[in-house]
Amino acid sequence: MCPSQSVFSPSVAAPVAEKRPHAHNCGDHQIRDDYAWLRADNWREVMQNPQTLPADIRAHLLAENAYCDSALKDTTALQEKLVGEMRARIREEDTDVPIEDGQYAYFYTFAPGSEHPLYARRTIKEDGTLSDQVEPVLDANALANAHDYFDLGAIAHSPDHRFVAYATDCQGSEFYDIRIRDIQSGQDLPDHLVSAASDLVWSTDSASLYWIWRDENNRPKEVRRHQLGDHPDTDQCLYHEEDEGFFLSLSQTSDRRYILIEANDHTTSEVHILDADMAEPALHCIAPRERNLEYHVDHAGHDFYILTNADGAEDFKIITAPDNHPGRENWQDLVPAKPGTRRLEHRLFKNHMVRLERVNALPRLVVHRLSDGRETQITIKDEAYALGLEPLSDFDTRRMRFSFSSLSQPEQIFDYDMERHTRILRKTQDIPSGHDADAYCVRRLTAKAQDGEDIPVSLIHHKDTPIDGTAPLLLYGYGSYGITIPASFSLRRLSLINRGFVYAIAHIRGGEAKGHAWYTAAKGIHKPNTFHDFIAVAQGLIAKNYTCKGKIIAMGGSAGGLLVGAVLNMAPDLFGGAIAAVPFVDVLNTMCDETLPLTPPEWPEWGNPKEDTNAFAAISAYSPYDNVAPRNYPPVLVTAGLTDPRVTYWEPAKWVARLRDMAPKAGPYLLQTEMQAGHGGLSGRFEGLKTTALEYAFAIKAASLSLR
């Protein structure tokens, strides 16, 4: 038995989920699932109205919550202390760097104690400075008051600055309502758009709004145009996506000339454009979809600038195409592909293009002058850090904006002159309770994978933490969809690090830390490479004396929760505990159910087990739920959201039920389901700290550290 198991002493009995024999077919295979009853038949209704959850399922989830509370009851004071520490690092009265647009500068601001921001603006005076008077545009706190859960999605002011359109989700289901407010009067128009995605784009004349309608399965299916004052039922459908495996997104080019409709399925994309100035816009396709061809579009002058993997550019390149004939036959290379240098994003200005790219798990920014192709790299000297392009409305400008942070350094926002190559610091993240970056050690390491690959690792610990193999270590991983976890600052994790934890991020395959090939090497039937890499990182950190066997807390969320579940099946004795946040652990059943919101679009990532025997075999071999066995599992904390459309609540509930049934003497297995939240958990900048405090208290307890 793991030493950490004895520190958990729940005062109530663990819930035992009833076994109800059930079987269903997945292609030519039959799957037996005794806990399938936890999937509510009316799950679509539950996502929009949590009160409709069947009574037996609700009773089980509440019993699990009570058991989790009991097991962590002795950490109640610690959790309150952790929330207090984390909150003390947040500047209560805070304002973003304003974004200038015409005669106004728009920004978010927080009042002391507020969970949600006020969206506001100030007038830009003739000398370029901002007026002292703050004009409220939209108060998210007032909107949130009547709801247990509230998410303010996209917010967009109209080009004439008269209106603001905004999207809200009050269940966590990601079905947004869109409303339009008259800024001067502060009143909403009668226009009310429902079953929407969060994407919003205005027409140039401010008379219409482009938005995305979601179907009953929570899939974005149509781009619609809403004329202000018209009934939503009369909205014109401009684009309908027939393929259930493709999702839609809506955006605008940097020069605001074109509205972009992008359909994609993780490996293939297709972009349609609308002229934002046309009263009756016509739809044009840049290039018809081709399997495994991805491209992303921006515009300046008379050309489209397209980031693409065309012509074998695995790590992507940037091409140009004339805007009157943008088809593939006219694509010309501007920034050629370079293996190992993953081009991530590009942003256009009238005379410049800025691109964000990544090399060996570290990002960099490159400024490209359009007139002569001269390039300048923005240099960063830290060992492990994060960079990001920040939004700006100006197009005809020499200024761009970027963010920088590291594992030890709070975020800074810079304005950068693309001709003079100078930068001005606009804001540094303030830590009211104090922060000394020099009190921490930040390292970039590598661990050797079982096949010889070098896996990058970003790591931070307090300088007083002994690196002699005795420290507990939280190892975080994700490893899917090409997503690379940045080495950015987190004011929350300091509460672990200050208590003697080493915090490490494993940049494993499945992400794109070392280029697109790093992603494809752990995709589909190759998915186990993600899990082997994570285990190799854990073993490598032990070998380097950062921790020891049984003192590692594995952590991951969503697809990172799949990672946690898989490595627990493969090497349970390596870990002293595990935190699986909204974990995607029922992979086989989910990928066999095409009615679920994300299943068809996810087939390119995981494989389609209904039609592909190899995919069925591969998923069956690693799916955490399907591979639970009588093993010596460490304590596990699992979180879920009842209205989560991405990882449905029954996946973690079923997994915990099977863990408890198959390995009852190990664990314990704790499940905490938020009954009024979705994938992102509790809403609000302070409420969300409670979930982090729960996770960290579990980690501290599992590591047998003091609960003070």
**Distance (Å, rounded) from C-alpha 272 to C-alpha 258?**
10
The amino acid present at 419, given as its one-letter code, is E
DSSP 125-161: PTTSPBPS--EEEEEHHHHHTT-SS-EEEEEEE-TTS
Q: Which of 292, 275, 216, 213 is nearest to 248 (CA)?
A: 213
**Contact criterion met (CB below 8 Å) for 68 and 660:** no
Q: Which of 463, 481, 479 is nearest to 471 (CA)?
A: 463
CATH superfamily assigned to domain 17-88+434-702: Alpha/Beta hydrolase fold, catalytic domain (3.40.50.1820)
The amino acid present at 440, given as its one-letter code, is Y
Active site annotation includes 679: yes
Q: Which of 659, 643, 650, 481 is nearest to 565 (CA)?
A: 659
Predicted pLDDT at 653: 98
pLDDT < 70: residue spans in the chain = 1-6
Predicted pLDDT at 3: 40
Query: Cis before residue 668, ω within 30 degrees of 0?
Result: yes
Predicted pLDDT at 6: 61
Long-range contacts (CB closer than 8 Å, 24 or more residues apart) made by 279-283: 279/205, 281/203, 281/225, 281/238, 283/238, 283/239
3.40.50.150, 2.130.10.120, 3.40.225.10, 1.10.3080.10: which CATH number matches 98-336? 2.130.10.120
**For the chain, what are the domain ranges?**
17-88+434-702, 98-336, 340-430
**Distance (Å, rounded) from C-alpha 338 to C-alpha 334?**
12
**Contact criterion met (CB below 8 Å) for 628 and 662:** yes
188-243 pLDDT, tens per residue? 999 999 999 999 999 999 999 999 999 999 999 999 999 999 999 999 999 999 99
Reduce the DSSP state of residue 510 to 3 states and report it. coil
Active site annotation includes 277: no
Tracing tokens 């909150």 back to the chain, one arrives at: 87
Task: From the candidates 299, 461, 462, 679, give the one annotated as an active-site residue.
Answer: 679
Bridge pairing between strands 220-227 and 269-275: unpaired
Active site annotation includes 462: no
Task: From the candidates 558, 623, 626, 683, give the one annotated as an active-site residue.
Answer: 558
Q: In the chain, what are the helix, strand and coil shares in percent, each to the nearest 5? A: 25, 35, 40
**Contact criterion met (CB below 8 Å) for 41 and 58:** no
List residues bridging with 357 in a β-sheet: 343, 364
Reduce the DSSP state of residue 406 to 3 states and report it. strand
Task: From the candidates 4, 173, 644, 683, give the one annotated as an active-site residue.
Answer: 644
**Contact criterion met (CB below 8 Å) for 511 and 482:** yes
pTM of the model: 0.97
DSSP 527-556: THHHHHHHHHHHHHHHHTTS--TT-EEEEE
What radius of gyration, in Å, describes the C-alpha atoms of the chain? 25
